[in-house]
């Protein structure tokens, strides 16, 4: 018999907020998380953190071997949030992620399968216990299709 839901349900729900750039997701997600006492996960910032790591490693997104070069970097990637701050492998990179070139690079890298797979893994781990408001464009569809609450 196939179960569509886990045997043990999450104790607290996952709230997915998906939408395009400039839709006001961040403000809504952050406020909601604060109100509920949940954690808040900005998945766009995670893609931006990958871009910071790739740029620092000198990885050219147009190179034929880009996925090969990203492999060790993605395997060792640790992204943590602390309030408004984001840490890449223990280092505060909050002042770097909003740079326009990092946004461009994040967008290009986000098209790569290996990057999306690693992000999915990290995002699922971060939401496994619920009690999280997760913001992005694929949360309610690809990352947590079984999220208890979805806003598009």
The answer to whether the beta carbons of residues 41 and 139 sit under 8 Å apart is: no
The answer to whether the beta carbons of residues 136 and 143 sit under 8 Å apart is: yes
Q: Which stretch binds ligand C5P (CB under 6 A): 28-36, 41-49, 64-72, 81-89?
A: 41-49
Query: CA 107, CA 51: separation in Å to the nearest integer?
Result: 9
Return the residue of 14, 110, 126, 147 that touches ligand C5P, per CB under 6 A: 110
Q: Which stretch binds ligand C5P (CB under 6 A): 3-11, 43-51, 62-70, 79-87?
A: 43-51
Most distant CA pair in the chain: distance in Å? 50
Residues sharing a CB contact under 8 Å with residue 90, sequence separation 6 or more, in sequence order: 78, 80
Query: By CB under 6 A, is residue 140 in contact with ligand C5P?
Result: no
Q: Of how many residues is the chain composed?
A: 152
Q: Which stretch binds ligand C5P (CB under 6 A): 29-37, 66-74, 124-132, 136-144?
A: 136-144
Q: Report the nearest approach of ligand C5P to the CB of residue 121 (Å).
A: 13
Place of tokens 């998906």: 18
Q: Please give the residue ranges that form the binding site for ligand C5P (CB under 6 A).
A: 21, 43-45, 47-48, 103, 106-107, 110, 136-138
């Amino acid at each position: 018999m196939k179960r569509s839901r886990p045997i043990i349900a999450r104790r607290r729900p996952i709230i997915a907020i998906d939408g395009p750039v400039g839709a006001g997701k961040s403000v809504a997600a952050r406020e909601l998380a604060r109100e509920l006492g949940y954690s808040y996960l900005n998945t766009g910032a995670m893609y931006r953190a990958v871009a910071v790591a790739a740029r620092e490693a000198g990885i050219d997104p147009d190179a034929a071997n880009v996925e090969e070069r990203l492999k060790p970097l993605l395997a060792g990637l640790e992204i943590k949030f602390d309030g408004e701050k984001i840490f890449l492998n223990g280092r505060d990179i909050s002042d770097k992620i909003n740079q326009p070139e990092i946004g461009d690079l994040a967008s290009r890298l986000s098209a790569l399968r290996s990057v999306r797979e690693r992000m999915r893994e990290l995002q699922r781990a971060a939401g496994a216990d619920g009690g999280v408001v997760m913001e992005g464009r694929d949360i309610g569809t690809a990352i947590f299709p079984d999220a208890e609450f979805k806003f598009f």
